[in-house]
Amino acid sequence: MRVVSGTCKGRPLKAVSGTGTRPTTDKVKESIFNMIGPYFDGGQVLDLFAGSGGLAIEALSRGMEKAILVDRDYQSFQTVKTNLEACGFTDCSEVYKNDAERALKAIIKRSLSFSLILLDPPYKQQKLVKLLEMIHDAKILEESGVIVCEHGNDVVLPENVNDLVKWKHENYGIISVSIFRWGNTRGGQEEL
């Protein structure tokens, strides 16, 4: 597992020990960022199921200026901190050991907004629609922002969650990626 592109390209990342997390493969990571970027000119990223921190670190490497990473697992929390430090991103990141829903409520209270939100929950504990609803209602996604949902290919997310619209969807074997954005972005056009 490594950083695929950007300022930390090629930097190896530590995986979380055990079988509790499932890191996004480099191939899927590259595909995700090709769909949404591939590079950024600032912005904030929120990763609610950080695991090793690989996706948020990739976003920082590709130009995001700040990241908030959350995971409820202690080993994940420690691994994220180690990986951020190895990439020199400690000063532009916040790491929290918390449940995704509670963390989201705390973030909403801080009135933060994000240009990229990453949702990659454990496949057996999908709460994606509920989290998308919370994000929608709190309006923490910036107008031109995107939400990347990684899920099992047996999970079919709705085309719309209120005003959030499924913009892109791809399958990678047993993994699927669904990308949501505001339906009214740029007059509701299909492409950026």
**Could you read off the pLDDT of 19-28 as tens digits, one per residue?**
566 778 889 9
pLDDT at residue 75 greater than cutoff 50: yes
Best-predicted range by mean pLDDT (3-7, 15-19, 171-175): 3-7
Q: Residue 101 contacts by C-beta under 8 Å, 6 or more apart in sequence?
A: 127, 130, 131, 134
Q: Residue 185: is its pLDDT beyond 60?
A: no
Percent of the chain at pLDDT > 70 equals 92
Give the chain's domains with CATH numbers: 26-186 (3.40.50.150)
Instruction: Evaluate if residue 176 carries a pLDDT over 90.
Output: yes
- The answer to whether the CB of 60 falls within 8 A of the CB of 92 is yes
Mean pLDDT within 52-70 = 97
In this predicted structure, the answer to whether residue 186 has a pLDDT above a threshold of 50 is no
Sign of CA dihedral 51, 52, 53, 58: negative
Predicted pLDDT of residue 20: 61
Q: Mean per-residue pLDDT for 157-176?
A: 95
Q: Taking residues 51-60, what's their average pLDDT? A: 96
Is the pTM above the cut of 0.95?
no
pLDDT at 124 over 80: no
Say what the pLDDT of residue 17 is. 83
Question: 77: how many CB neighbours lie within 10 A of its CB?
Answer: 20
- Residue 182's pLDDT band (cuts 50, 70, 90): very high
Evaluate whether 164 touches 132 at the Cβ level (below 8 Å): yes
Nearest CA to 3 out of 79, 54, 49, 63 is that of 54
Give residue 83's pLDDT band: very low, low, confident or very high (50, 70, 90).
very high
User: Whole-number mean pLDDT of the chain?
Assistant: 91
* CA–CA separation, 147 and 166 (whole Å): 9
